[in-house]
Amino acid sequence: MDEFFANPYFLIALTFGVYLFASRLRRRFGLSLMNPILISVILLVAFLSTSGVSYESYCEGGKYIEFWLKPAVVALGVPLYRQLSTIRKQLMPLLVAELAGCVAGLVSVVAIAELFGATREVIMSLAPKAVTTPIAMEISTALGGNPSLTAAVVVCTGIFGSMAGFSMVRMSRIRSSMAGSLSIGTASHAVGTAAAMERGGERFGAFSSLGLTLNGLFTALLAPVILPLLGY
Amino acid sequence: MNLIMQCAVLFGFLAAGEMIVWLTSVPVPSSIIGMILLAASLQSGRLRLNQVEQFADFLTRNLGFFFVPAGVGVIRCLGLIADQWVPIVMATVVSTFIIIAVTGWTHQWSRRTAKRFRRHG
């Protein structure tokens, strides 16, 4: 039986099953704490640790799911297009806001991690945490971080942003829904965008995906410039 | 519209993104370039919405699911996280809040400024 558990098709089916279960759970109880990604990751990690299936074996199946991340990011071009006329009207405010958010994110993550005594490897892995996985892992590798830690932190940031992002928007007294969804996409990439779309529909989703795109671009371009200025 | 056709369009844009990265070695992921090219083609009218819409909506609505395997990767660095969980958690939580506040405030402020500018200028 243990050998069968490492079968990639079984692991793919299990991932689908666990995610469906987690989504049902949330629909049933409606708690934002029950993020389906979070619940799925916890259940799958528990399964791997108890069954003794290695992460490498899991990836044999998991890579076919992860494969769809890239086409899914391309697909965000559709909501982006649908809101293009709104976006064009305020191109400058959007660019200024994204630039500020990107710099604030990079500086704050490095400063806080350093303050609490993280090692250089961890700091470099945390630096690109706000942007979507493929970008973040590339930046992390380029900076000398640990890309698998980056992937984990990126997913956690996304989950955290999709759970707490809306309360944070309220707490910081951001009144415009455009500004709010833009910030959620900026801080918590595609996972936050999925939450924004679920909660506010197409318009929120478009601004959120704009946030994730612009922050991805700015972080990729600015991280190699800003981190040396911070002494790394 | 035929789903194979929609799939072809999306992967076509992704492949175009890959080619641009390969040719120019820009430090931007191919998927982001593909996303921008897709939006631009729709805007220019060369591509019609119904040629991608259905499949694209399926992917974007279920975006979270595709992140699960990357999240399971956490199992590989549990040791590193156990050692340094305080800075990792603090940096993630506080910096997420800072990004949201700074981005939102700057956006509201610069829109207001831009409007005032247009009115007086």
Interface test mutation site (partner A, options B96, B109, B116, max chain A beta carbons within 10 A): B96
Q: What mean pLDDT is predicted for residues B11-23? A: 96
From the CA of B60, how many Å to the nearest CA of chain A? 6
Q: Do A77 and B39 touch (CB under 8 A)?
A: yes
Mean pLDDT over the full length of chain B? 91
Interface test mutation site (partner A, options B3, B13, B32, max chain A beta carbons within 10 A): B32
Q: Please work out, in degrees rounded to the nearest 5, the angle formed at the alpha carbon of residue A120 by the alpha carbons of A117 and A126.
A: 85
Mean pLDDT over the full length of chain A? 89
Q: For A92-111, how does the pLDDT look when each residue is reduced to its tens digit (9 = 90+)? A: 999 999 999 999 999 999 99
H or E segment at A20? helix A8-29
Q: How confident is the model at residue A33 (pLDDT cuts 50, 70, 90)?
A: low
Least confident of A45-54, A86-95, A106-115, B36-45: A86-95
Nearest CA to A227 among A114, A93, A149?
A114
Q: Residues near B19 by Cβ (< 8 Å), separated by ≥ 6?
A: none
Who has greater pLDDT, B116 or B107? B107
Rounded alpha-carbon distances, angstroms, from residue A45 to A189, B17, B75: 23, 33, 7
Q: Could you tell me the pTM of the whole model?
A: 0.82
Q: Which residues of chain A neighbour B20 with C-beta distances below 8 Å?
A: none
Q: For B81-104, how does the pLDDT look when each residue is reduced to its tens digit (9 = 90+)? A: 999 999 999 999 999 999 999 999
Q: Which residues of chain B neighbour A199 with C-beta distances below 8 Å?
A: none
Q: How confident is the model at residue A20 (pLDDT cuts 50, 70, 90)?
A: very high
Are residues A160 and A129 in contact, defined by beta-carbon separation less than 8 angstroms?
no
| Gap between the Cα atoms of A153 and A165, Å rounded | 16
A83 three-state secondary structure = coil
Q: What mean pLDDT is predicted for residues A9-29? A: 92
Q: How confident is the model at residue A147 (pLDDT cuts 50, 70, 90)?
A: confident
Q: Token pair for residue A81?
A: 């297009």
- Looking at residue A170, its pLDDT comes to 94
| Gap between the Cα atoms of A110 and B58, Å rounded | 36
From the CA of B117, how many Å to the nearest CA of chain A? 12
From the CA of A66, how many Å to the nearest CA of chain B? 5
Q: What mean pLDDT is predicted for residues B35-60? A: 93
Residue A31 has pLDDT above 70, yes or no: no
- Looking at residue A38, its pLDDT comes to 85
Nearest CA to A177 among A210, A200, A209, A160?
A200
Q: Please work out, in degrees rounded to the nearest 5, the angle formed at the alpha carbon of residue A159 by the alpha carbons of A157 and A164.
A: 90
Residue A7 has pLDDT above 70, yes or no: yes
Residue A85 has pLDDT above 80, yes or no: yes
Amino acid at A138: E
ipTM over 0.90: no
A30 three-state secondary structure = coil
Length of chain A: 232
